[in-house]
Amino acid sequence: MSEAVAHLGMTDITAAIAAQQLSAKEVVRACLLRVDDCNDRVNAFTAVYAERALAKAQRVDEQLRQGVALPLAGVPFAVKNLFDVAAQTTVAGSKILDTNAAAAADALLVQRLEARGAVLVGSLNMGEFAYDFTGENQHYGACCNPRNLAHMTGGSSSGSGAALAAGMVPLTLGSDTNGSIRVPSAFCGVYGLKPTYGRLPRSGTYPFCDSLDHVGPMARSVNDLAVAYNALQGFDASDHACAQRPVELIDATQRSRQPLRVGVLQGYFDPPEFADATRVVDTYAKALAATGARVDYCQLELAEAGRSAAFLITNMEGANLHYEKVIAQAEAFDADTRDRFIAGSLLPGAWYLRAQRLRRQYAKQAAQLFGHYDVLLAPATPIRAPLLGQKTMRMGASELNVRANLGYFTQPISCIGLPVICAPLLQADSNGPAPALGVQIIAAPWREDLCFMAAAQLADTGTTRSEVVATTKT
């Protein structure tokens, strides 16, 4: 049964439970078996809450018998381990936080999902303190890409992508500062949403870079992603960045009455050195054009400067957050993370101010572009998932550091907080499923609806899809 449930999406599960073909407890039990089957190979989960999950599933079944409406009844989900889970210590991919007190309550987004009948089953692997694009964690081990276990998942929401692709759960939550939802979504071949900065509250999550931190859902279909996003929305005053905006429910079956205006980003986003990634964008652009969309080519002139600004802001805010821990327990950090925090603590404050000014200028330029286009398309990653342990990648005649540059295309978009859906393009080779690539579907602030509209139209064409690919242990 666990194999069958692994292929079910969120809406499949809720439909089966509503038809009394399955109970919530049966679904959760099958999910836990699937995790047990797969996790020793994929290493997506760092903690499994079996007792809590089964008790919650039983309560969901009781509520359904009493006629309580639960739109996410029985949907198992898991969260990046920087989300608070009541009675558990929030480790954020580190060992240095192990001695902290356990969380008093679940993170707000966990509460919102469980209030609608979803069931938390565990916490997921991630890069230490979210400062990572690889999915390789010195303390908890590398998270392996279910599409090919010899390859990286991407990070820092590594377990969030891998758990979906392996069919362990149909829904995960991740965070994205510079691409940490979009990179693993692309590599693992799933959908991920980085919403507008301030759209979803970060309450009850461990921070990294306040100016750039986002939280969002990941799923295996556009519809499931929309259902999760609808459940997560709402203002919360405990996150100062959370905007007081109305909940705008997404209907992923809705199609635009007017042709979408699509801008394919060129220049910085179209380097010949990363031709595989840009060919995927062309594939998506042609698919949208076939649906009637008006496709044109454009540039974000300040994209490269925006990426530099995001680098500085991330480095300096992260360094400031962890300064005292680095001074007191430097040896307890992953060496790469520690060294980046040390470097950030040495940068001049004037650089940070210049970076923040550049962000405002860059946001104005982007706003002008959205006067002409509904959505913009750009690659999600420069290359397919590297091999585990790979340190460098090629860009023309240059060797670039993998860890720093897998966010080459995502960082400029995070810098100004634009909403993005990463949609996957899957391929196979003679050995079976190959690491995937993805495309960023980008809209103006607060226009997640347009991201979903374009993603759904692409799904209609069969261009984008996700699939369960991991095999169970023998």
Q: pLDDT (tens digit, 9 = 90+) per residue, 385-440?
A: 999 999 999 988 889 999 999 999 999 999 999 999 999 987 666 566 777 899 99
Find out whether 439 and 408 touch, Cβ atoms under 8 Å. Answer: no
- Model confidence pLDDT, tens digit, residues 266-305: 999 999 999 999 999 999 999 999 999 999 999 999 999 9
* Alpha helices, DSSP H, located in 331-447: 335-345, 349-369, 402-405, 411-414
Q: What whole-number distance in Å separates Cα of residue 42 and Cα of residue 159?
A: 9
Closest alpha carbon to 440 in 405, 411, 401: 411
Q: Residue 379: how many CB atoms within 10 A of its CB? A: 26
Query: Which pair of tokens denotes residue 165?
Result: 């692709």
* Alpha helices, DSSP H, located in 291-378: 303-329, 335-345, 349-369
Could you tell me what percent of the chain has a pLDDT over 70?
Answer: 97
- Given a cut of 90, whether residue 474 has pLDDT beyond it is no
- Model confidence pLDDT, tens digit, residues 63-88: 999 999 999 999 999 999 999 999 99
Which residue type occupies 40? D
- Phi and psi dihedrals of 111, rounded to 5? -60, -40
The three-point CA angle 429-430-434 to 5° equals 30
Q: What whole-number distance in Å separates Cα of residue 48 and Cα of residue 126?
A: 15
454: helix, strand or coil: helix
DSSP assignment string, 58-100:
HHHHHHHHTT---TTTT-EEEEETTB--BTS---TT-STTTTS
Q: What whole-number distance in Å separates Cα of residue 278 and Cα of residue 330?
A: 40
- Model confidence pLDDT, tens digit, residues 327-371: 999 999 999 999 999 999 999 999 999 999 999 999 999 999 999
First-to-last alpha carbon distance for the chain, in angstroms, is: 16
Q: What whole-number distance in Å separates Cα of residue 83 and Cα of residue 446?
A: 24
Choice among 31-35, 140-144, 202-206, 397-401 with the minimum mean pLDDT: 397-401
- Model confidence pLDDT, tens digit, residues 154-192: 999 999 999 999 999 999 999 999 999 999 999 999 999
Q: What whole-number distance in Å separates Cα of residue 185 and Cα of residue 325?
A: 31
Find out whether 302 and 310 touch, Cβ atoms under 8 Å. Answer: no
Query: Which pair of tokens denotes residue 167?
Result: 């069919």
Q: Which residues are catalytic?
A: 80, 156, 180
Closest alpha carbon to 306 in 372, 349, 363, 353: 363
- Phi and psi dihedrals of 395, rounded to 5? -135, 95
- Model confidence pLDDT, tens digit, residues 112-140: 999 999 999 999 999 999 999 999 999 99
Alpha-carbon dihedral 52, 57, 63, 67, rounded to 10 degrees: 160
- Given a cut of 60, whether residue 473 has pLDDT beyond it is no
- Given a cut of 80, whether residue 6 has pLDDT beyond it is no
322: helix, strand or coil: helix
238 band by pLDDT with thresholds 50, 70 and 90: very high
Q: Residue 273: how many CB atoms within 10 A of its CB? A: 15
Q: Which residues pair with 400 in a beta bridge?
A: 393
Closest alpha carbon to 223 in 468, 397, 28, 458: 458
- Given a cut of 50, whether residue 472 has pLDDT beyond it is no
Q: What whole-number distance in Å separates Cα of residue 166 and Cα of residue 34?
A: 9
Find out whether 424 and 385 touch, Cβ atoms under 8 Å. Answer: no
Taking the whole predicted model, whether its pTM rises above 0.75 is answered as yes
Per-residue confidence (pLDDT) for residue 470, from 0 to 100: 58
393: helix, strand or coil: strand
